Structure 1
Amino acid sequence: MECLPVPYTKYVSLSVGSFVKIKGTFVMPFNMNPELQVDFLTEAEGNENIAFHFRVYCDNHVVMNSRQGGNWEEEVSTSVISFEDGQPFELGILVLSTEYQVTVNGHQCYTFPHRIDPGSVKMIQVWRDVSLTSVTVT
């Protein structure tokens, strides 16, 4: 299967019920602390406003946040890592009316409340230490 370029960007229009599915693998073992980052950007250019920021640090934690006017807001962090070392992953992000619901390999793992209207999201960016096979929005 052909890999997508990283960083990968996709222009989108999100609404309640939208589902983002990202399939890939980490390009190095977890003891080398690979990272995965997904950003829901409200502008096609620049990153001043990020409606949803999801970043996995495979050594020990996951961070979720949002950014408005160039300023990061209060970070939500958890030590629950639901990814498996050396295994492909399927990351799902469901847009609900009040929050994003994040699944890893079909298991609901994280939630993050909307701070910026998901309808304002124009682009998704996926990057860091991953090889991507698909990014779809339904």
Structure 2
Amino acid sequence: MTFVPAPGYMPSYHPPLPYVAPVPGGLRPGMAVYVQGVVNPQAEWFRVNLAAGPDDSGDLPLHLNPRFGAGVAVLNSRRRGRWGDEQRQELHPLCPGGPFEIVINVTPEGYKVLVNGTFYTEFPHRLPPEQVTSVSVDGDLQLHSASVMGGAGMCPPCVPDAPQTTPIYPDCNLPVMQQPPTFHPPVPFVTTIPGGLFPKKTIVIKGFIPHEAGRFHINLRAGPGGDVVLHLNPPQWTRGGAVVRNSFLGGSWGPEERDLSCCNPFQRGRYFDLSIRCGNHRFKVFAEGQPLFDFHHRVPAGPHVDVLEIEGDVVLSFVHF
């Protein structure tokens, strides 16, 4: 069972540095770039570049460069070999040895940057975001995941004027993730899934488990307060840490399922990345692109399964479907 990202969601997990990812069709308002990792303990610097070209040698619509030796983060742009005026920002909450997540939201006016779930700064467009054709990350950090989210979600050969590279989406039959990501929503989190869960529909949930977490759960329901067709209960650390799956149909719980295809990704003090894909006969669940478990439908999925609930001891980074 191979994980293929749905169009509109382009993730990489634990890539080597320097990391460079193409952005077919460029960036547009409503899209976002997500970077999550850990700053090295003796870090001097790292950078996130949005480049108008296959690498960092050409124009840079956005250069985000935390400099720990200087105690400042620098934002800038470069056009035709010339840097613009620097915009400087205090480093906090970025710090050597600490985990971080950076979200760069594309707005009509510029880039809105969030760090660790809070507003950090804004940088106005000096070059059109549509010119961004790659995202790069390098420097003194461990890069755990990076994603480009939103946009038309077409395969690269279908995007006008896109560079001819290896297709990111080898299976164009997957439905596009059309909704914009919801970043850092409060918990409990309850939302409606437009159109419900039909075959090949994907839900992506990224979050952080606090060090003192007790338990949390994810439910897919048939309407508000309706049957739970999939109940995912990640580790209850006071009860052995099993990842329990079940359903609640007609007022009764079914048999629990606990086996996993890989190591348990839900650990206190760590981020997790979960993709839930609805198939014809089962839910296929992946953690950081690796198969985690299958859960066969106990009742048919469809448009009636249209509510996502997340409750308990978890901090959500984003939800995307």
Taking structure 2 as the reference length, the TM-score comes to: 0.40
Paired residue for 2:135? 124
Unmatched segments (≥5 aa) in structure 2: 1-12, 150-321
Cα 1:45–1:86, aligned 2, differ >3 Å: closer, same or farther? Answer: closer
Equivalent-residue separation in structure 2 for 1:43 and 1:124 (angstroms): 9
Cα 1:48–1:61, aligned 2, differ >3 Å: closer, same or farther? Answer: same
% of aligned pairs identical?
30
Equivalent-residue separation in structure 1 for 2:65 and 2:110 (angstroms): 17
1:97 to 98, 108, 124: 108
Greater RCO structure (CA 8 Å; 6+ sep): 1
1:6 to 12, 17, 30: 17
Unmatched segments (≥5 aa) in structure 1: none
Structure (1 or 2) with the greater strand fraction? 1
Q: 2:49 touches 2:56 (CA, 8 Å); kept in 1?
A: no
CA RMSD of aligned residues (A): 1.5
2:32 to 5, 8, 19: 19
Equivalent-residue separation in structure 1 for 2:99 and 2:127 (angstroms): 31
- Count the aligned residue pairs: 134
Based on CA coordinates, which of the two structures has the bigger radius of gyration?
2
Q: Deviations over 1:73-97 (max 9, x none)?
A: 1111122422144221111100000
Are residue 52 (structure 1) and residue 62 (structure 2) matched? yes
Equivalent-residue separation in structure 2 for 1:53 and 1:126 (angstroms): 10
Q: 1:39 touches 1:50 (CA, 8 Å); kept in 2?
A: yes
Q: Which amino acid aligns with 2:34?
A: K
Paired residue for 2:122? 111
Q: 1:4 touches 1:131 (CA, 8 Å); kept in 2?
A: no
Q: Which moved more, 1:74-83 or 1:5-14?
A: 74-83
Q: 1:50 touches 1:68 (CA, 8 Å); kept in 2?
A: yes
Give, in angstroms, the shift of residue 44 of structure 1. 1.2
Question: Equivalent residue of 1:119, what SS?
Answer: helix
Give, in angstroms, the shift of residue 110 of structure 1. 1.0
